[in-house]
Structure 1
């Protein structure tokens, strides 16, 4: 049986995204963008995952972040409530 490292990493991304979606309050409790970048759970995503965040600093009450790996992304927004959405890039071709 041939194992694909990319498939394994994608599965790891999916598992971590599922944890965050299931319990966002545990993962998304911070007061600044800096706190987000210091979150130890980001290290649980596979190597090659990228993330960016904006908001909260300078008196902002809203927070937005995107975490991406391969063809998938996790969108996070925290305004009056927390919303987390797992998505797939439409232009992704699994054969490439």
Structure 2
């Protein structure tokens, strides 16, 4: 590998904690808001006959999101996020080799 291309060091503990903190700061209110709206949709569907049609798109979105989460966790399980910087360095190394051949 070209010595001019330095791979970054491991992520620090402070970066990990900051990322987790921001994720919780954003995701917890979002999940609570969605759960509240979903509960309101369910109460609406129990009260009126037309309320069932309001819940159908939400269920479709939930099922599609479940599929995306399954793919995401499958990718995590197969190690596709262990070293996300490696493809960049591989591409740069291949580019350097191609430039040397010319």
> Is TM > 0.5 for Structure 1 vs Structure 2?
no
Q: Normalized per residue, which structure has more helix?
A: 2
Question: What is the TM-score of this pair, normalised by structure 2?
Answer: 0.29
Point out the structure with max Rg over C-alpha: 2
- Ranked by relative contact order (alpha carbons within 8 Å, sequence separation 6 or more), the top structure is 2
Question: What is the TM-score of this pair, normalised by structure 1?
Answer: 0.30
